[in-house]
Structure 1
Amino acid sequence: MNLKNCIKIVLFVLICTNLQAQRGIKIGYVDIDYILENVPEYQQSLTQLDSKAEKWSRELANKKAEIDQLKNELENERPLLTIELIEEKEEEIEYLTGKMFEFQDEKFGVGGELLVQKRQLVQPIQDQIFNAVQEIADNRNYDYIFESSSDALMLYAAKRHDLSDIILKLIKRSAKDGTFNNDEDLFGEKYKSVEGAIEDEKKEAAEEAKAEAREAQREERIANQLSARDSIRAARKKEYEDRKAQLIKDREEAKRKRDSIREARENN
């Protein structure tokens, strides 16, 4: 945030404070970071997401280690390889490197799964916070409620204006018995009748079944791709070993002939 915007906010707060003294305007603020840290469901989901991120990081490290190993093997064996084999190995390394960066972008990129899931995780809580703010503002006649968190600018605010604990209580109460005015639960979904809830459960079960089927198909496709790749690599490795053995054999045969010629010359 630039200096111009900071000055505007400071002036706005000062004006609001002056108006509060003159006309009884009520001002409050909430700390969203504090609220998120104290919502157990959010923290549990965040822990699960962190575990996913660690798993993805390990997979990425394994891919890099595999590529580094192939590079080292190529450098060590380069003198024994034909140009064709060298090119094949370089192509394989280039392919695996591309797949590694593709995986990295897919998981950790700007539009990657990690950021997307974080947004999906925090959005329902933010909706709940907004609903709670609306309820407090309506019921207690607040004129302005600001945000005070690491991303927002709040130079100073008296603790008596902090509504964070009240918001947190409302969220937890809503999660327990759905007592918000708009009957929303912790994740911001509207209250449903028993019949509606049963119908939603059926739809959710159907969606889960579809998702499991898609995941099974995906795993099968990946397994087939890995199997095909392993077969290709095994064939290439066998071809390489055969060529290597033939090259060594040819060198030994050439050496034997040279030794025979030299021995014949020495005997004559």
Structure 2
Amino acid sequence: MKRFFCAFAFLGLLTAGPAQAQRLGYIDTEFIMSKMPEYAQAQTELNKLSDTWQKEIEAQQKDIDKMYRTYQAEEVVLTEPMKKKRQDEMLKKEQELKAYRTKQFGYEGQIFKKRQELNKPVQDKIFEAVEKVVKAKKLDIVLDKASDLTMIYTNPTFDYTEYVLEELGLASPDRNQPGPKGPVRTVTPPKTPAANAATKATTDSQFESDSGPPEAPAGTKTRTGTKP
């Protein structure tokens, strides 16, 4: 998959006109495939095959281990020809197991071929969607962020992954949409020291007018209106 889109990207680099400014974009094929039900179904089938073959390998390995234990237990009573025969049998079993493991899980083995077979329809759908986005957005080059091509920095402005998902009918409703507007909140500005002092003075005068003059301490004589 990675090689496929790398080749697609470099093909665009070669065919784009050098005389004019080139419009560049990128996509994330791994993210796109993770959203596709066909890809999930293919992975499930691959996992089942892998588990089946792995169990067969483990069963063969158990048989070989059993042969070794039996040989070690009986080695002292075996003649040299019998030892040689047992050793050849165990060696043959080990070679058969190694060949089977390579056939199923080795380079270009059965699991590799089956993965290509199951993923090809997914790749074809993504490629068709990318072609539509390229034509609609008038792009010259499309890179794959998930490929072996190192992308040190990517500007989200040039990310066309969501547009490809839209072509596949898998776009998220909250992507490529303006953010929701929240309620407008007003904040009361803080009072200045002068305003606080004026407020305090007003409060004190109101307190005095409501409560009257302060009472004299107990035992203190108050003067009357007569002259001394």
Aligned partner (choices 72, 76, 82) of residue 73 of structure 2: 76
Pairwise CA distance, 1:41: 1.2
Count how many residue pairs are aligned between Structure 1 and Structure 2.
155
**Quick check: 1:120 aligned with 2:113?**
no
Larger radius of gyration: 2
Structure with the higher fraction of residues in helix conformation:
1
Aligned partner of 1:50 among 47, 52, 66 = 47
Counterpart amino acid of residue 169 in structure 1? E
Alignment deviations for residues 111-160 of structure 1 (CA, whole Å, 9 cap, x no partner): 21111112223333222222212111122312222211152322222222
Q: Provide the residue aligned with 1:224 in structure 2.
A: none
Structure 2 segments unaligned to the other structure (5+ residues): 1-9, 171-228
**Alignment map for 1:236-251 (pairs within 5 Å):** none
Which of 130, 133, 139 is equivalent to 1:133?
130
Q: Which residue of 1 aligns with 2:62?
A: 65
Counterpart selection for 1:41 from 38, 41, 53: 38
Q: Report the AA paired with residue 54 of structure 1.
A: D
Query: Which structure 1 segments of 5+ residues have no match?
Result: 1-8, 174-268
Q: Which moved more, 1:93-102 or 1:156-165?
A: 156-165
Give the secondary structure class of the aligned counterpart of 1:29. strand
Amino acid corresponding to residue 155 of structure 2 in structure 1: A
**Residue number in structure 2 paired with 1:147:** 144
Which of 137-146 and 30-39 deviates more?
A: 137-146
**What TM-score comes out, normalization by structure 2 length?**
0.61
| SS of aligned partner of 1:146 | strand
Partner secondary structure for residue 28 of structure 1: strand
Give 1:27's aligned residue: 24
Q: AA paired with 1:56?
A: W
TM-score (norm 1): 0.52
Aligned partner letter, 1:114: I
Amino acid of the residue matched to residue 74 of structure 2? E
Match of 1:160 among 157, 162, 174: 157
Instruction: Give the Cα separation in 2 of the matches to 1:120 and 1:152.
Output: 24
Rounded Cα–Cα distance in structure 1 between residues aligned with 2:118 and 2:159: 24
Q: For 1:94, which of 91, 94, 106 is the aligned residue?
A: 91
4+ runs of 1 displaced by more than 6 Å? Answer: none
Matched residue, 2:105? 108
1:80 CA displacement? 1.4
Higher relative contact order (CA 8 A, sep 6+): 2
d(CA) in 1 for partners of 2:57 and 2:169? Answer: 38
Instruction: Say if 2:42 and 2:119, in contact at 8 Å, map to a contact too.
Output: no
